[in-house]
Amino acid sequence: MADKKKICICENCEFRDVVFSYLDESSIDQLCENKEEQAFRKGEVINHEGEKISNFKYLKSGLVKLYRRTSTGEEQVITITRPFEFVSNMSIFSEERYQYSVSALEDSVVCLVKLEFIKELFMRNGGFAMGLLSKISMINDKIIAQTLDIRQKNLIGRVAFVLLYFTNEIYNSRVFDLPVSRKEIADYIGMSTANVIRTLSDFKKEGIIRVFGKTIEVVDLNKLEIISKRG
């Protein structure tokens, strides 16, 4: 009996629409032979800082954080990434090993494509190369912009910024389960955990948010936006 041809699930996949729309059918078939999907449970590490890079990674579903360890062993959260963005690909063409770690904040699915195949496509398809570089550049610009924006704010402005980020960018809802701990928020905005806890408590007392365990409800979105801008 002849071997069954590998079923290609790329045709209706957002992965193809984002970058691989530049590929012809032959290249799509080759992509399927070099691609796999891997599921990660909440808390699992997708790649470790210092690990050898062997795959191009793309977040298909879920939510992850990009971070690194400082010289003192503290965790420094660089960004929180939503679906349809590239996971830890900032160094794939310049480094042999990951410069950052990535872990799942929610159950997530990541597409992995063999790095050598991606490099081959770069060499023979200029449209694909420009599309991919543009997407990676956009994400890098977003990370830099977020970092600069956070640094310009005071404590309450930073906490407000994070709540607005989850409300408007991640969940598009005023009610959501906070996917990160208070400590992770503190690591992200460069403040102490105690200050984050106190600020969230103050927001609750002022009626800006409601807190039900891990569930956050943004009650006064306008006030939160004013705090973020003025902070």
Q: Give me the pLDDT at residue 90, please.
A: 67
Among 6-15, 110-119, 183-192, 203-212, where is mean pLDDT lowest? 6-15
Give the dihedral sign, CA 70/75/81/86: positive
Question: Side chain identity at 191, as an amino acid letter?
Answer: M
Domain's final residue, options 149, 169, 191: 149
Q: What is the dihedral of CA 37, 38, 42, 47, to 10 degrees?
A: -110
Among 12-21, 128-137, 194-203, where is mean pLDDT lowest? 12-21
Domain's final residue, options 149, 164, 186: 149
Q: Give me the pLDDT at residue 88, please.
A: 62
> How far are the Cα atoms of 32, 134, 185, 211 from residue 178, in angstroms, in the given order?
35, 31, 10, 10
**Strand 215-218 versus strand 85-86 pairing type:** unpaired
Q: Give me the pLDDT at residue 1, please.
A: 39
- Asked, for residue 5, whether it belongs to a domain, the answer is no
Average model confidence (pLDDT) for the chain?
85
CATH number at residue 79: 2.60.120.10
Residues of the domain holding 98: 14-149
- Asked, for residue 3, whether it belongs to a domain, the answer is no
- The first and second tokens of residue 210, run together, are 């409601």
Q: Give me the pLDDT at residue 5, please.
A: 43
Q: Give me the pLDDT at residue 17, please.
A: 57
Q: How far is CA 178 from the centre of its chain?
A: 15
| 75 and 36, same domain (yes or no) | yes
pTM reported for the whole predicted model = 0.81
| 101 and 182, same domain (yes or no) | no
Percent of the chain with pLDDT over 90: 42
- Asked, for residue 7, whether it belongs to a domain, the answer is no
In angstroms, the CA 91 to CA 55 distance is 11
At residue 148, what are phi and psi to the nearest 5 degrees?
A: -65, -40
Tens digits of per-residue pLDDT, 9-40? 554 555 555 556 677 777 777 777 788 889 99
Residue 227 above 90 pLDDT?
yes
Domain's final residue, options 149, 168, 184: 149
> How far are the Cα atoms of 26, 132, 178, 226 from residue 106, in angstroms, in the given order?
35, 26, 10, 30
| 161 and 138, same domain (yes or no) | no
Tens digits of per-residue pLDDT, 105-121? 999 999 888 888 888 88
Residue 141 above 90 pLDDT?
no
Tens digits of per-residue pLDDT, 25-79? 777 777 777 888 899 999 999 999 999 988 888 888 899 999 988 888 788 898 8
Percent of the chain with pLDDT over 70: 89
